[in-house]
Amino acid sequence: MEYVLVGFRQVDAVRHYGFQGIAEDRSRIEFTVGTDMTLLRKYSIAIQDVPLLCRRFLEERDISDARHAIMLSEDQMRRFAEARSAVEAAAKMRKHHRPPTSSKVGQAWRSERP
């Protein structure tokens, strides 16, 4: 099933993201995923990442469940933040600066000939 974000609304500190689940036969099912904005700040999750987090959550769950209004739990947000931290740490390790092999790099063509 594919999930398409159709919008959101906010009530107090909870933002509800609306999704349409599109099945193989092109039938559509409405889903709403709620997120607590205070937990987003607690785990330093950017507001831009939340729709993707909600869609990933929908993709992982069993569709046979009849509930179409779901709330992201603190545990799910914590796991997302931990996974993001691990990816950022790995990226930081890859960006290793190598110093030049010689302190006279580029001087061979700049120096005067005797």
In a domain, 113, yes or no: no
Mean pLDDT, residues 73-89 taken together: 84
Predicted pLDDT at 63: 63
In a domain, 114, yes or no: no
In a domain, 83, yes or no: yes
In a domain, 81, yes or no: yes
In a domain, 105, yes or no: no
Alpha carbon distance 54, 34 (integer Å):
8
- Cβ-based neighbour number of residue 71 at 10 Å: 12
Q: pLDDT tens across 5-57, in order? A: 999 999 999 999 999 988 889 888 899 999 999 998 888 888 998 998 899 88
In a domain, 44, yes or no: yes
Are 70 and 57 in contact by the 8 Å Cβ rule? The answer is yes
Q: What are phi and psi of 71, to 5 degrees?
A: -120, 130
Are 7 and 18 in contact by the 8 Å Cβ rule? The answer is yes
In a domain, 25, yes or no: yes
- Report yes or no on whether pTM surpasses 0.75: no
Residue 96 — very low, low, confident or very high, per pLDDT cuts 50/70/90?
low
Total domains present in the chain = 1
Domain that holds residue 55: 2-89
- Cβ-based neighbour number of residue 1 at 10 Å: 14
In a domain, 104, yes or no: no
